[in-house]
Structures are given as structure tokens and as C-alpha cells.
């Protein structure tokens, strides 16, 4: 299956470079480009991409507002947003995760890293760059905002089995399915099944949103950033 990609960035040269790189791959193609948030939302509705590669700082409607609009639209539930930013520890990045972004990368990412990130996000996995440490997540996601798109009470977690809660906690700590499998002495397929069941029960778009829910619900207590 070909991954359909939308590029949203106000830098024309950067979009052109990304387009050449992405279109050179047999398994993905750029279906549209946008220079601001309004165009990104409109293009997403028109072209229904699998992944929107979104810049944060754009004129007019910025990437954060565009991400919130896209992720808040049920008709666009299959579209994943991958944030590209110059500032990997910017609080706006964490806000983007709150409203539904599937992850983020720094703009200094190498070509192979970008392509891998697109494939990862398209598959429904969460993607955080190496500098997106657990400290960053706890610092910005531990305290829920009244306007946050994802709000889950502890009562909502009662729908999860004990194992699903355990797996969800490990996901929020940054472990992959393989890591979870090794820690719990289960198969990677079983770990993946538990993750997806938790996502389904909590209406989480992907693993990134599962992380947000884990912190905002209090399942995983915040730790002071280091």
C-alpha cells in the first residue's frame, strides 16, 4: 500500500526537497502541499492523506491549530500528523501531542530518518525523536489542560484489564512492543494486541495519544524533569 503524504511548511524550498525525497520511494507519494495551517486543513479534507508532515510555525493558522483541527475531525481519523520543528523541546510540540499529533522530529533529521518516521506514524505507532526524553513528556503532559482534546478520568481506565494497564504504563514510559514483550515475558504480537485493545477501549488514535492519556489520567505519575 502506498503511503499518501501531505507536506505543510511555509518554506517552499524545504517542501520541494521533501517532495523529491518522498516521491523517490516506491511505498509513498506526496499528494499535496500547504504553506499554512488553513491550507493544510483544507488539503487534508480534500486529499485524505495517511500522514501530514506539519511544521509548527507558519503564518496565519499555525501548525498547532491545524493539528488540533485535523485530529479533532472524526472524518479525518485516519490522518496522522507528524510534527517537524526546529525546536524539539518547544512546549508547542507537547501541546501538539495533547491534541492528537502522532509524534515529532527535528528539522535536522536525516533523509532516512524522515522516511522511517513517516512509515512509523502511518502504521499507527508513535514517533518521538531521541531528544524527546521522558522528562519532556512528564513536564508538559502531566498536567492536563481544560481545553485538551484528550481528557480521560481514572474511571475510564476501569475498562482496561490489569495487563492492559500494565502495558499502557510501559508504553507511556517509552518502551516499544519488543521491549514490553521482553519485560513481561510475552510475545511481541501479544504485547501489540494489548496495546491496540487499550487504544480501542480509550478511543486513542495511536500510541502517542495513549501516552497522553496515561499521564492525564494519573495512571503514570509525573516525575520532575531533569
pLDDT 10s digits, 164-210: 999 999 888 778 888 899 999 999 999 999 999 999 999 887 787 88
Element (H, E) at 188: helix 188-201
pTM of the model: 0.71
Whether 86 contacts 107, CB under 8 Å = yes
Pairing of strands 127-128, 103-106: parallel
Q: How far is it, in rounded angstroms, from Cα 105 to Cα 34?
A: 19
Q: How far is it, in rounded angstroms, from Cα 119 to Cα 33?
A: 18
* pLDDT band with cut points at 50, 70 and 90 for residue 211: confident
Q: How far is it, in rounded angstroms, from Cα 88 to Cα 226?
A: 16
Q: Which of 123-132, 182-191, 210-219 has the highest mean pLDDT?
A: 182-191
What domains can be seen in the chain, in order of their start residue? 3-132 (3.40.50.2300), 144-216 (1.10.10.10)
Whether 132 contacts 173, CB under 8 Å = no
Amino acid at each position: 500500500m502506498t503511503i499518501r503524504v501531505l507536506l505543510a511548511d511555509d518554506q517552499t524550498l524545504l517542501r520541494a526537497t521533501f517532495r523529491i525525497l518522498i516521491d523517490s520511494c516506491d511505498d509513498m507519494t506526496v499528494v499535496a502541499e500547504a504553506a499554512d495551517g488553513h491550507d493544510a486543513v483544507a488539503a487534508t479534507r480534500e486529499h485524505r492523506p495517511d500522514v501530514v508532515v506539519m511544521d509548527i510555525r507558519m503564518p496565519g493558522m499555525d501548525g498547532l491549530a491545524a493539528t488540533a483541527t485535523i485530529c479533532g475531525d472524526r472524518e479525518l481519523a485516519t490522518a496522522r500528523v507528524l510534527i517537524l520543528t526546529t525546536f524539539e523541546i518547544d512546549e508547542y510540540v507537547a501541546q501538539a501531542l495533547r491534541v492528537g499529533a502522532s509524534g515529532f522530529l527535528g528539522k535536522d533529521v536525516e533523509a532516512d530518518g524522515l522516511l522511517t518516521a513517516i512509515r512509523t506514524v502511518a502504521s499507527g505507532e508513535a514517533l518521538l525523536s531521541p531528544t524527546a526524553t521522558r522528562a519532556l513528556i512528564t513536564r508538559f503532559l502531566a498536567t492536563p489542560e481544560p481545553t485538551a482534546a484528550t481528557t480521560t478520568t481514572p474511571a475510564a481506565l476501569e475498562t482496561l484489564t490489569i495487563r492492559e494497564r500494565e502495558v499502557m504504563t510501559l508504553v507511556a514510559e517509552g518502551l516499544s512492543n519488543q521491549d514490553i514483550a521482553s519485560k513481561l515475558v510475552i510475545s511481541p504480537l501479544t504485547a501489540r494486541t494489548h496495546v491496540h485493545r487499550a487504544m480501542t477501549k480509550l478511543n486513542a488514535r495511536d500510541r502517542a495519544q495513549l501516552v497522553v492519556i496515561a499521564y492525564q489520567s494519573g495512571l503514570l505519575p509525573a516525575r520532575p524533569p531533569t
